[in-house]
Structure 1
């Protein structure tokens, strides 16, 4: 394929197409069979890599939550997870190492994922509290974040808990309210909790990135990168991109 067509495809996936280039791309997709096949092939590869990255990130969150509740784990399981992460990063790097530098908004969009639902409401003497948590999580799972946020906020006021604070902060972040997410995450006491501290630092870093404070974002993401947790490789990758962020 001609070099200018390859550059056109790369510009599309980098989000840098001009209106004129977009028209050219659409024309080629409609009239150039070879170009259309190459474009579809590239898109399928990238979609697969992004999907696998997101699935791996969700798995790491779940492992971190289990680690906080049960600090001791079998060494073989740890090595299996680490090897899987390294393979995934290698594949992702192979396909994306030639991409141009992106801004903070694009980095945020690339790395932001909702914290998975790892909470099963348990009876704590208040059936109403459990019902509110169950309803909040149901809305959260179906991406109705405004409704979920209202319920998590009610729950956090009536029966404060770390999980309520975390899910509320993530909802605020997904609703483009990073300042509120930052206040929640920084004001909550996470010292004695089942939520892994690298998870908190990860979302604080993303919240500051969303808010446009790249210096604070680097600080928190670097802490995650140095934590030795399952999120560390992902954070190290983001930290490197933040260092060269224009």
Structure 2
């Protein structure tokens, strides 16, 4: 499936497969192992995890057992959101690297601009301190690209103004009806790839009658249209599922939405 082999190119020239397999909320052990193996068997070549998910070791086992050469698989992991100092960032990276045990990380992200228990609080100074460690890791070749997650325009601006390397990616919640236009536009202006997590709004879009009407025209599912929409907006979707047929279906998106159908999706408000 070309959608799985197509790539975006980050600002530093590193290529990243256009669809990633997300592992958020998949428990460590057989569930993560089986779903990642299913994804790799289906042709996914981009796996997204995080220290906070607690499943890096299972992702690693699945990658190793898949028989797919390591250099063909793009691995993203993330520094925990509550880590806002240099020492913590170094420790988190070493821990993830040890658990994954797959050599250099392909993309390493700051998981959020603030700790999850203090959403919206100001940690700009801490993010800059962490980012300087990221720059060192990148310089040393221990990660091939560095980025952020859940950063809005003000978070990006303060980071870019105080550091040397502009983030290569910004992973944000992005789906039909919740497209974060300001953050998306700012990221694109600065050549920061936008990755969209929860492209199905954690399943809420699946019952959307308006998307279903469009999907029926193409003989596709609501999920496939929702994921295709991101690709046509040059956003990298990170669908997640533990159901083998859904994992495969989510990647079967080699069709083109018409301009009018994209416009109809643009006009939808998912009630966010």
Q: Shared topology, TM-score over 0.5? A: no
The structure where strand makes up a greater share of residues is 2
TM-score (norm 2): 0.26
Higher helix share: 1
